[in-house]
Structure formats: C-alpha cells, structure tokens
Amino acid sequence: MDSTKLMKLREESGIKVIEIQTDLSSYAASDLRKVLEGLLAEKVEKVVVNLSQVSHINSTAVGALVGVAKRLRQSGGDLKICSLADNLTRTFNLIGASSVVEIYESENSALAAF
C-alpha cells in the first residue's frame, strides 16, 4: 500500500498545491514526508498543503510540515497550509506549530498570501 497516491499534486499560478486525501496517522505521515522531500529535491519553492479532506493528523505529520516549511524559507520560499478541521487546528495549537507554519481558512487565501 502506498498512500502517496492519495496526495494529489497540482500547480496554481506557479505554486504547488498538495491535496491530501487520506488521514495522516503514522503510515501516511511518512508518505507525506516523502512527497514533500520530493518537492524539495525538485527545487520547488512555494507549496500549499490543502488539508480539507483530512480528519486526523498526528505529531509526525505536523513535524514533517513544520520541517519542510522551515527548509523552504531558507531558500526564500514557504509552505502554507489551509482548510483545517477543528480537531486539526487543536493539534497544531497544542504542539505550537500554528506559530511556526502559516495556516489559512481556504486554499485561495493561502495562494493569495504568497
């Protein structure tokens, strides 16, 4: 099983959008890390991760998003996330990741923030 197929990549005006179509517990979290590392390897700079179809996220997945956001910023880019369900927002807040990664209500507002 490979959950990277449930992480759909597209491009919106020069920004990579990843739409996650799976819940992010441990197994899918390491696939998310692979997808994000793939983008880093391709020298992609601007990334939006759309979490509208995600109803669960764990610390490993949050950590992967934080780590890649920080690395992208070093090269002038960024990773922004959008469309979080309430429980996802609570998890980001509990970890403190909401102060490290920019979170937007909708994909459009995340795209517009670049």
Partner 1 sequence: MAQADIQLQIPSAAFYIEPVRVFVGNLAQSLGFSRKRVSDIQLVLDEICSNAVHHGSADEKVGVKLCISIDTHALEILVRDTGRRYTGEKNWLTHERLSEIEMNRSPNNERGHGIFIAKSLADMHEMQPNAAGGTDVRVTFRLPKPRDIEI
Contact set with partner 1 (CB under 8 A): 1, 23, 25-28, 30, 55-56, 58-60, 62-64, 66-67, 70, 86-87, 90-91, 94-97, 99-100
**Of partner 1, ligand ATP, none, which one sits near residue 100, judging by CB under 5 to 8 A according to partner kind?**
partner 1
96 binds, among partner 1, ligand ATP, none (CB under 5 to 8 A by kind): partner 1
> Considering the complex, what minimum distance in angstroms separates the CB of residue 63 from ligand ATP?
5
Binding site for ligand ATP (CB under 6 A): 59-60, 63
Distance CA(84)–CA(53), nearest Å, equals: 9
| Exposed/middle/buried for residue 21 (C-beta within 10 Å: 0-12, 13-18, 19+) | middle
Cβ proximity to ligand ATP: between 67 and 114 the closer is 67
- Residue 8's Cβ-side half-sphere holds a number of Cα atoms within 13 Å equal to 10
Identity of the residue, 55 or 75, whose beta carbon is nearer to partner 1 in the bound complex: 55
Q: Which amino acid is at 7?
A: M
β partners of residue 17: 10, 48
Query: How many of the other CB atoms lie within 10 Å of CB of 75?
Result: 11
Q: How far is the CB of 103 from partner 1 (least distance, A)?
A: 13
